[in-house]
Structure 1
Amino acid sequence: AILYGLIPQAAKELTSYTVYRWECAIRASVVMGFVGAGGLGQLMDQAMKMLNGGEAASILLTFLALVFVADLISRTLRRGLDKAPAAHAMPFGPFSIALLVIFFGAISASFWLLDISFGALFSREAASSISQFLGSFFPPDLSAPWLLKVAQGTWETLAISAVGTLFAALTGLLLALARPRWPFNVFFNALRSVPELVWATITALSVGLGPFAGVLALALHTTGVLGRLYVEALDNAPAAPGRALRLSGAPSGLAFLYGTLPGAAPQLIAYTLYRWEMNIRMAAILGFVGAGGLGQLLYFELSLFHYTQASTVIIAMLLLSFAVDQTSAWLRQRMA
């Protein structure tokens, strides 16, 4: 019943979300390379530290090509799943079987390439090392001078996220209205394909270390994300009010402001709040490449092996994330 009834009906949603998470994992794997986890991110980090612009540009272009290939595969799979399945005796057709073979082949090849050893992870030596390392973070440093410094880092993180999101929202909305649309869709895809941490590395080399580099990094990536979402929101807005105003003689600008924009405004605001919520978390991470905020504070303390001070910063990050979740939920309820 599951093979012939449930799974074929849910195959489109399962495949779509799996491919989406794979796209996200590609970007995340680049970010993790900046802390020594291998891959293109580690190569990019090394090239940036050596100020080798040619190598960094080659790595960035390779990453962009990888992301665009992932997008192409995603669109191809979605189009294939939109077609009505042919009648056959098996619960899966040739297309689905081929996808499963490719998927499991890729997983097997990945395990072989990465040489993953779960035995080392669950060994007694690993458990002892992990427990000793975690124990060094307690008790956290709660002295008044350090709490004041953490509070300043928290405020800086909030400011970076707010200004970066504001710049992105304004730019994304203006470009979403531009015509013809396809060049700007390519531009949006290029901006959002590069992770914030990679943008932060580039902007830190361009304008120097500090919060301004973080603001630019968030603004560049978020412009690509919000621009794409704004285009979809404006396309899905009711067309009748704007059309009625234009037919009555109103200029196109006023027809958009009083007809189209009010219908799309709730969705635009919801997307902007969601991205601001995500940017607050990302702003706390951008400091690892010198872009200010709590991340830079945490990076310095970990580099100096000041684990009790780092523990306080981590707690501040958790509290900030919890406060953002609650505030965002409250704002969405008020909007509803």
Structure 2
Amino acid sequence: MKHPRDPAAPGRAAALLLAIVVLWPLGVIGEFRPWALFEAHHLRVMGGFLAAFLPPASSGEFLAYLGRATLETLAIATAGMALAFVLAVPLAMATTQALSVSRIGPGSGRRRAEWSRALLRMLLVVLRGLPELVWALLFVRVFGLGPAAGVLALGLTYGGMLAKVYAEILESGDSRPARALLEAGSSRLQALCYGLLPGAAQELTSYTVYRWECAVRASVVMGFVGAGGLGQLMDQSMRMLNGGEAATILLTFLLLVLAADALSGLLRRQLGEATGRAVAAAFGARTLLWLLLLGSALAASYVWLDLALPPC
């Protein structure tokens, strides 16, 4: 029996041909030549470089420095994410259409609300459009070397990212419960907590923890410009050509990423178990316990970093 020809095959072939036509000149301009990695000279260079990382450093003095730098990196990431969260929540509530009171029906303030949302979205573009490294360089000139520049840089950049994604997550879900609450006279905060969060809590939590993981990576990078933490220790090890210390730092960083992934899975499971319960129970004792733990981590971060503005 002869099988019928796939009607979508010509379209897929045309799309593949178009992708090759578009990507080939981009690869030439970007000098993308992955086969060069397997040339004998390059393999010898990479092998010699990687061999310098063995064995990883394990001296007691270095591990003490590493522990302090790890705590400082976690503190920078946590404090920066807390600042980003404080900025992101009101901006997300103001820019999401799912919580727009003016869209319920015709009114004189609808055009003004649309313009306000457009301006706030432009602000989010500015915040997340500038890399955190650029913000860190700016704040290092203002506050000097230290973790304060890294915390502020993460707070601004990630505040814009979180606000944009939060708004999109809230808009992509079922907005009918929130709309019904707004039409009944509820506030935006009530519509958010009781109409949108129960269905979007897992996705919001997963993305927030993922951004905290990205903040840990970013704080390492910003350490190269004087923000402290693992990045500054890595910079010193690489300058001294000490591959063993660099290998230990990289292993520590991988453990931090694994811990963040495990935390994300744990929080998602906790929220998944609470999906079918009443809203009040979902935000009950278990949520209060997590808030206390996160608040303790935040307070410890600020105490550890000793974030204080220089005197005028």
Compute the TM-score of the two structures, normalised by the length of structure 1: 0.64
Residue number among 106, 130, 138 corresponding to 1:194 in the alignment: 130
Cα deviation, 1:179-237, whole Å, max 9, x if unaligned, reads: 52111212212222222323322322232222111111211221121111111123234
Per the alignment, do residues 249 and 307 of structure 1 end up closer, same or farther by CA in structure 2, a change over 3 Å counting? Answer: closer
**Secondary structure, in 3 states, of the residue corresponding to 1:142?**
coil
2:75 aligned residue: 159
**Secondary structure, in 3 states, of the residue corresponding to 1:181?**
helix
1:173 aligned residue: 89
Same amino acid, percent of matched pairs: 35
Q: Does 1:320 align with 2:256?
A: yes
Contact 2:201 2:271 in 1 (8 A): no
Cα deviation, 1:57-114, whole Å, max 9, x if unaligned, reads: xxxxxxxxxxxxxxxxxxxxxxxxxxxxxxxxxx538xx8666533323333333xx7
Q: Does 1:102 align with 2:22?
A: yes
Per the alignment, do residues 7 and 278 of structure 1 end up closer, same or farther by CA in structure 2, a change over 3 Å counting? Answer: farther
Q: Does 1:92 align with 2:95?
A: no
Cα deviation, 1:236-278, whole Å, max 9, x if unaligned, reads: 3443433444444445554444444444444333321221122
Q: Does 1:302 align with 2:218?
A: no
Greater shift after overlay, 218-227 or 324-333? 324-333
2:8 aligned residue: 5
Per the alignment, do residues 262 and 324 of structure 1 end up closer, same or farther by CA in structure 2, a change over 3 Å counting? Answer: closer
**Secondary structure, in 3 states, of the residue corresponding to 1:152?**
helix
Amino acid at match of 1:5: A
Per the alignment, do residues 2 and 331 of structure 1 end up closer, same or farther by CA in structure 2, a change over 3 Å counting? Answer: farther
Contact 2:178 2:194 in 1 (8 A): yes
**Secondary structure, in 3 states, of the residue corresponding to 1:187?**
helix
Q: Structure 2 unaligned segments of length 5 or more: list them.
A: 95-112, 273-312
2:56 aligned residue: 140
Distance 2:18 2:59 in 1: 60
Q: Does 1:271 align with 2:197?
A: no
Please state how far the C-alpha of 1:285 moved relative to its aligned partner: 2.2
Higher relative contact order (CA 8 A, sep 6+): 2
Residue number among 234, 252, 269 corresponding to 1:333 in the alignment: 269
1:216-227 superposed matches below 5 A = 216-227=152-163
Residue number among 227, 232, 252 corresponding to 1:291 in the alignment: 227
Q: Structure 1 unaligned segments of length 5 or more: list them.
A: 12-90
**Secondary structure, in 3 states, of the residue corresponding to 2:8?**
helix
Contact 2:234 2:249 in 1 (8 A): yes
Contact 1:196 1:217 in 2 (8 A): yes
Per the alignment, do residues 109 and 307 of structure 1 end up closer, same or farther by CA in structure 2, a change over 3 Å counting? Answer: closer
2:102 aligned residue: none
